[in-house]
Amino acid sequence: MWKSRKIIYKILIENNLLLPNKQACLNQLTKLGINYIAHHHDPVPTMDDVIKIQVTNGTAYVKNLLYVDKKSNYYLILANHTTQVGKLFWKTLGLSSGNMRLSKEEQILEALKSSKGNINPFAIVNDSNNRVKNIIIDEELTKFQRVALHPIENTTTVEISLDDLQNKFLKPLNRQYTIIKLTDAEAEQQLQQLKQQSNDQQHLQTLAITVKKSDFSEWYQQVIRKAELIEYYDVSGCYILRPWGYFIWEQIQRYFDDLIRTEDVENTYFPMFISAKHLNKEKEHVEGFKAEVAWVTKYGESDLNEPLAIRPTSETIMYPAFAKWVQSHRDLPLKVNQWTNIVRWEFKFPTPFIRTREFLWQEGHTAHSTKEEAIKQVYTILDFYEQVYGELLAVPVIKGIKTESEKFAGGDFTTTVETIIPQNGRGLQGATSHHLGQNFSKMFEINFEDDKKQKAFAWQTSWGLTTRSIGAMIMFHGDDKGLVLPPRIAKYQIVIIPIIHKDLDEKQLNERCEQIKQILIKQKLRVHLDNRDNYSPGWKFNKWEQKGVPIRLEIGPGEFKNNEVRVVQRFDNKKYQIKIEEINKLNQILDNIHNAMFEKAKIELNQRIKQADNWKEFMTQLNQRNTILTKWCERQECEQQVKGKSGMESKEKDSEINGQVQLTGSAKTLCIPLKQDEIKEGEQCFHCGQQAKRYVLWGRSY
Ligand code: 87F
């Protein structure tokens, strides 16, 4: 329902409102001693109109949003116009975002006696029934000298200081207001800090993880901290990688480095800064990512002449150099790789390892003289990625090709290893290997003289694997007790714990443990002897279980006497004795553990892949936390429709089925798996009914 200003005025005047119009409002500001700069103009109902008004330097344009919950409590949000207002801040305020809706026209009228396009904080005086429970102010606004607001009507804009709004306007009215970070990334950080503070206060640093894995996101947060993989940091989306976690990355580096060396890839290092000129050289591929690029604009107190971007990926850094290095076909193939950090200023909810603003990765870039050779390279690397996941992390992946809308826009096609997190059925892209065709070589002039003395452009590939892989591993293998490490990435594969007993000489026991440790070290196993005497064996069992050590060796009086050790396997809690002379079996046992973990993970992954032949089946499977393999026509239009429809039809966020909170959000294509059954003439796309071309895997994703 839309009401004209006239009708609203009538209501305002009939209701004896304190601030019925802009003149009354401006008078009131003067009376309260609030300095303002006023601009008069045509109505500016949308943000796009508002930002056309010329305001003073240092003044922020304000987005005014009025939310209402199911009990008709109202919340007025004043956000900087560039802030991506998220959902998490509601939680910080102790409210549920699921209950909040943007107010409709008649609700705006009811609460503020105002209308869409006119919402402003001064109208709060007209809320005689105290319907507005809180005025939520974006912390970003505190960084500006003034804020631009409408005095009741949007035909005028006043610039006033936020200080005056708070102290001279809201406080005297006895109105609650809260200054808070509104983007999800920042709110997450605030929540973590609150949680940390209350933990510290209550000395709640208990050893055990307090929730089960079924409470997945809380479980994950606890596991990564209690296993000492991660420490939190005060820059949102950035985390400290502790030695226990960093070691895993080092193992991935070693393994993958050895693999790419067999392909004659060489390691290099390119600078992390990109000049604006360079970054923009290749506008098209950067366009979609622009918002995520972080810039350095100052040194000390001075502005840089030219701002510098921090690498979000290194194409525009590397390829100008490639152009210099490639002259003749004898300079090809050129194959380089680098292990670096990357910065992408994401605004989605950050999750340690899975989505972070700074992360570690390797990026490989190759140039070839033929298309065939480049394509072969793409798939060889994809196989390497599959091996990293399978052989090292015991995480199964599905090799596939991204659809046209999901591929890296700069290339010809993108191959991917995808996995599915069994707990929530979300797809997770594990690594990508791109065939870039000649797109970049044409742009950056990477050309060479072929053997017939003809100028030709190089065929390129690029590929990347990140610390996200560690997140997938944690999610797959962890259990109610904490982390479970596959043996090949564990910093300690075995811990030896002596169990002191009155019948046993402590010194002798220690010597025995030390002997065993030495035997195992000789077998190239990573062993730790935990002979600290200020902790009990039980405490140590818990600690190392939480940290995911694959095997615990206990040596107590019985074992000592019988020349045995007691083996306890972390992943399945199997316990058995082995003789010391058989201790070389442990190498094999660790391999068996890896294999068993991998097999279990494969089963769990496969349980999350369902087939569907029509829309109803598709949505049913999606809402049961599955990914869905369907026959598909491969039309982008169809893909977009599935995405849109699945999002709309998915359950409300706060709804529960069988006590489980349902995931919401749309399904997208994860990949077209390389392994395919043949599709015959006449077989239909599950969604639109047109001729199907291949099977595609759909799912909600990270
Ligand atoms: C964010 C900001 C700017 C992804 C970005 O996948 C640019 C980009 O180009 C960007 N996020 N990408 C795509 C990266 C493509 C490619 N680069 C080499 C890889 C693997 C390693």
What one-character-per-residue DSSP string does 402-413 give? Answer: --TTTS-TTSSE
CA of 403 to the centre of ligand 1 (A): 17
pLDDT of residue 460: 98
* 513 or 173, which is more confident: 513
pLDDT of residue 188: 83
- Kindly give the number of the ligand 1 atom that is closest to the alpha carbon of 433: 20
Residues found in the chain? 702
3-state secondary structure of 527: strand
pLDDT of residue 257: 98
What's the chain's average pLDDT? 92
**Which neighbouring-strand residues pair with 97?**
none
Q: What is the pLDDT of residues 680-699, one digit of tens each?
A: 999 999 999 999 999 999 99
pLDDT of residue 385: 99
CA of 23 to the centre of ligand 1 (A): 53
Average pLDDT over residues 595-609: 98
- Neighbouring C-beta atoms of residue 544, cutoff 10 Å: 22
pLDDT band per the 50, 70, 90 thresholds, residue 16:
low
Cβ < 6 Å from ligand 1: which residues?
285-286, 289, 292-293, 312-313, 344, 363, 408, 432, 434, 462-464
- Kindly give the number of the ligand 1 atom that is closest to the alpha carbon of 361: 21
pLDDT of residue 286: 79
pLDDT band per the 50, 70, 90 thresholds, residue 197:
low
C-alpha–C-alpha distance, residues 4 and 276, integer Å = 47
CA of 521 to the centre of ligand 1 (A): 41
Q: What is the pLDDT of residues 383-413, one digit of tens each?
A: 999 999 999 999 999 999 999 999 999 999 9
- Would the pLDDT of 327 be above 80? yes
- Kindly give the number of the ligand 1 atom that is closest to the alpha carbon of 363: 21
C-alpha torsion 88→92→93→96, nearest 10: 50
Place of tokens 């930002």: 51
DSSP 8-state symbol, 634? -
**Ordered DSSP codes for 354-405:** TB-SEEEEEEEEEEESSHHHHHHHHHHHHHHHHHIIIIIT----EEEE--TT
pLDDT band per the 50, 70, 90 thresholds, residue 333:
very high
CA of 642 to the centre of ligand 1 (A): 26
Residue whose Cα lies nearest atom 12 of ligand 1: it is 313
- Neighbouring C-beta atoms of residue 253, cutoff 10 Å: 15
C-alpha–C-alpha distance, residues 457 and 329, integer Å = 10
- Neighbouring C-beta atoms of residue 2, cutoff 10 Å: 8
CA of 671 to the centre of ligand 1 (A): 18
CA of 108 to the centre of ligand 1 (A): 43
- Kindly give the number of the ligand 1 atom that is closest to the alpha carbon of 285: 9
CA of 464 to the centre of ligand 1 (A): 9
**Which neighbouring-strand residues pair with 328?**
449
Average pLDDT over residues 486-500: 97
- Would the pLDDT of 474 be above 60? yes
CA angle, residues 376, 341, 400, in degrees to nearest 5: 30
CA of 228 to the centre of ligand 1 (A): 30
Pocket test for ligand 1, best of 282, 289, 311, 385 (most atoms within 8 A of CB): 289
Q: For residue 95, give both structure tokens.
A: 């409210």
- Kindly give the number of the ligand 1 atom that is closest to the alpha carbon of 364: 21
Q: Which helix (H) or strand (E) holds 629?
A: strand 627-632
pLDDT band per the 50, 70, 90 thresholds, residue 190:
confident
- Kindly give the number of the ligand 1 atom that is closest to the alpha carbon of 313: 17
pLDDT band per the 50, 70, 90 thresholds, residue 20:
confident
Residue whose Cα lies nearest atom 17 of ligand 1: it is 313
pLDDT band per the 50, 70, 90 thresholds, residue 13:
low
Pocket test for ligand 1, best of 274, 279, 313, 361 (most atoms within 8 A of CB): 313
Q: Do 294 and 426 form a contact (C-beta atoms < 8 A)?
A: no
Q: For residue 322, give both structure tokens.
A: 């490639």
pLDDT of residue 659: 47
pLDDT of residue 207: 78
C-alpha–C-alpha distance, residues 209 and 192, integer Å = 16
- Kindly give the number of the ligand 1 atom that is closest to the alpha carbon of 292: 2
CA of 389 to the centre of ligand 1 (A): 21
CA of 74 to the centre of ligand 1 (A): 42
Closest CA to 133 of 167, 93, 98, 169: 93
Q: Chain centroid to CA 608: how far?
A: 21
pLDDT of residue 196: 65
C-alpha–C-alpha distance, residues 594 and 115, integer Å = 63
CA of 288 to the centre of ligand 1 (A): 10
Average pLDDT over residues 279-298: 87
DSSP 8-state symbol, 312? S
pLDDT band per the 50, 70, 90 thresholds, residue 206:
low
- Would the pLDDT of 277 be above 60? yes
Pocket test for ligand 1, best of 282, 365, 408, 443 (most atoms within 8 A of CB): 408
pLDDT of residue 18: 73
pLDDT band per the 50, 70, 90 thresholds, residue 621:
very high
Q: What is the pLDDT of residues 349-387, one digit of tens each?
A: 999 999 999 999 999 999 999 999 999 999 999 999 999
